């Protein structure tokens, strides 16, 4: 079962970068760390830390408004579809959502909660939809978008102070995240046409790399608040 929901994290610098101290969170980290590049791993964790800051800005509290274990699980596993050990037979968002939900159910998480994580991961590249599918989907989408520093459309980038951003990036450096992430998505997409439907994010990234050599996401990332 999931651990009891946590209280909202205090605002001290150490607490700002603290991860949930639960067996489920530890299992998630043990799952993703060996199969993701350090850059993508750090992005996944930063997405959670930023999502938690967005929650605070919106007046949402862990334990009453959202389950912190589920928020961490969804953010940390949102790119599981491009993991090096994956089957790579579906678009990466769906493949990652399937793997994450199966992982959670195997560890005793109720199917209804695992499905919330599935939705949050499957929809994290769908602006305008994810935000309307409940608190968890919205927070995951906003946390991920915030880690791009603005180009993906988040309205909360200015909610993070320079001091907070510095603490997060010192603990989990960017390591050319946007290029590394794009490389992984494009490589997964190129393996099978079903991985990259036209007008989906993986489909467009693959097309832009093939046609232009560089994606718009990489271009816009260079001028974002955090850079690449």
172: CB partners within 8 A, 6+ apart:
17, 42, 43, 45, 46, 49
pLDDT value at 36 more than 70: yes
Contact 187, 113 (CB under 8 A): no
Percent of the chain with pLDDT over 70: 90
Report the predicted TM-score, pTM, of the whole model to 2 decimal places.
0.88
Instruction: Using DSSP, state whether 62 is helix, strand or coil.
Output: strand
Predicted confidence at residue 72, as pLDDT, reads: 98
pLDDT value at 187 more than 80: yes
pLDDT digit string, tens, across residues 40-60: 999 999 999 999 999 998 999
pLDDT value at 13 more than 90: no
The 10 Å Cβ neighbour count of residue 213 is 8
- 66 phi and psi, to 5 degrees? -155, 160
pLDDT value at 93 more than 80: yes
Q: Where are the domains of the chain?
A: 20-173
pLDDT digit string, tens, across residues 71-86: 999 999 999 999 999 9
pLDDT value at 129 more than 70: yes
68: CB partners within 8 A, 6+ apart:
5, 6, 20, 52, 62
- 29 phi and psi, to 5 degrees? -60, -45
- CATH no. of 20-173: 1.10.3210.10
* DSSP secondary structure of 5-46: PPPPPPSSHHHHTPPP-SHHHHHHHHHHGGGS-HHHHHHHHH
Q: How far apart (Å, rounded) are the C-alpha atoms in residues 143 and 157?
A: 10
Contact 55, 75 (CB under 8 A): no
Predicted confidence at residue 228, as pLDDT, reads: 64
The 10 Å Cβ neighbour count of residue 115 is 15
Mean pLDDT value of segment 21-40: 96
């Amino acid at each position: 079962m999931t651990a009891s929901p946590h209280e909202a994290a205090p605002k001290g610098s150490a607490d700002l970068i603290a991860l949930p101290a639960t067996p489920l969170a530890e299992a998630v980290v043990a799952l993703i760390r060996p199969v993701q590049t350090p850059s993508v791993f750090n992005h996944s964790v930063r997405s959670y830390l930023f999502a938690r800051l967005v929650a605070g800005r919106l007046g949402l509290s862990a334990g009453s408004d959202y389950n912190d274990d589920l928020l961490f699980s969804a953010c940390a596993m949102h790119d599981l579809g491009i993991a090096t050990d994956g089957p790579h037979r579906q678009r990466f968002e769906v493949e990652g959502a399937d793997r994450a939900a199966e992982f959670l159910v195997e560890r005793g998480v109720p199917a209804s909660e695992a499905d919330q994580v599935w939705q949050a991961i499957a929809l994290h590249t769908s602006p305008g939809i994810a935000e309307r599918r409940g608190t968890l989907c919205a927070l995951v989408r906003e946390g991920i978008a915030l880690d791009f520093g603005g180009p993906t459309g988040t309205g909360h980038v200015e909610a993070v102070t320079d001091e907070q951003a510095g603490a997060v990036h010192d603990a989990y450096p960017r390591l050319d995240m946007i290029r590394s992430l794009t490389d992984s998505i494009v490589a997964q997409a190129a393996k099978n046409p079903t991985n990259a439907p036209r007008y989906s994010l993986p489909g467009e990234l693959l097309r832009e790399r093939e046609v232009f050599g560089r994606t718009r996401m990489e271009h816009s990332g260079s001028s974002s608040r955090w850079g690449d």
